[in-house]
């Protein structure tokens, strides 16, 4: 069943953790437009912060230092739907020097698992799609009735 979209807004922020607050403020405004309550807004802010944080840390680890994070908010009849995606502006990552502390694939997987668990706790519907190079496209929704 498809829901009719009432309002849509797109936000693009630098892949810099300092800009997550901008995404959270935009989410608060869109939650108000969508008619979400205070508790749902708090949960949405946590989910947005987690999705952005994971996207940004993955981008930096992959060498996309000048990337942007695109956050698309769609107010629909039943929910506020949010897509978080990395925009790199180029097809390949920049060669980065090796980190001082190597991160094992197990640690990377555990970090992703933790991000997924956090999002599932605070969003009503969560979907992840791998887009290559350890990067993810995150979709989440916060429903009015939950």
Summarised one tens digit per residue, pLDDT across range 109-125 is: 777 777 778 888 889 98
Q: For the domain that residue 91 is a member of, what is the CATH number?
A: 3.30.565.10
Q: pLDDT averaged over the chain?
A: 82
Q: What percent of the chain shows pLDDT beyond 90? A: 48
142 φ, ψ (degrees, to nearest 5): -125, 115
Domain count, the chain: 1
Strands, E assignment, 30-134: 68-76, 79-87, 125-132
- Residue numbers of the domain that contains 78: 5-143
CA 137 to chain centre: 8
Record the pTM.
0.80
- The pLDDT, as a whole number, for residue 42 is 92
CA distance 97 to 1: 48
């Amino acid at each position: 069943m498809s829901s009719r979209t009432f309002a849509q807004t797109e936000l693009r922020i630098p892949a810099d953790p300092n800009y997550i607050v901008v995404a959270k403020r935009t989410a608060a405004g869109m939650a108000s437009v969508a008619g979400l309550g205070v508790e749902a807004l708090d949960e949405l802010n946590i989910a947005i912060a987690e999705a952005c944080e994971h996207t940004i840390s993955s981008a930096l680890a992959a060498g996309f230092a000048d990337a942007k994070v695109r956050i698309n908010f769609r107010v629909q009849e039943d929910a506020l739907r949010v897509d978080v995606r990395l925009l790199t502006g180029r097809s390949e990552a920049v060669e980065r020097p090796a980190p001082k502390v190597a991160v094992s694939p197990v640690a990377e997987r555990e970090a992703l698992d933790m991000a997924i668990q956090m999002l599932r706790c605070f969003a009503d519907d969560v979907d992840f799609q791998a887009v290559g190079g350890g990067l993810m496209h995150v979709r989440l929704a916060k429903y009015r009735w939950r």
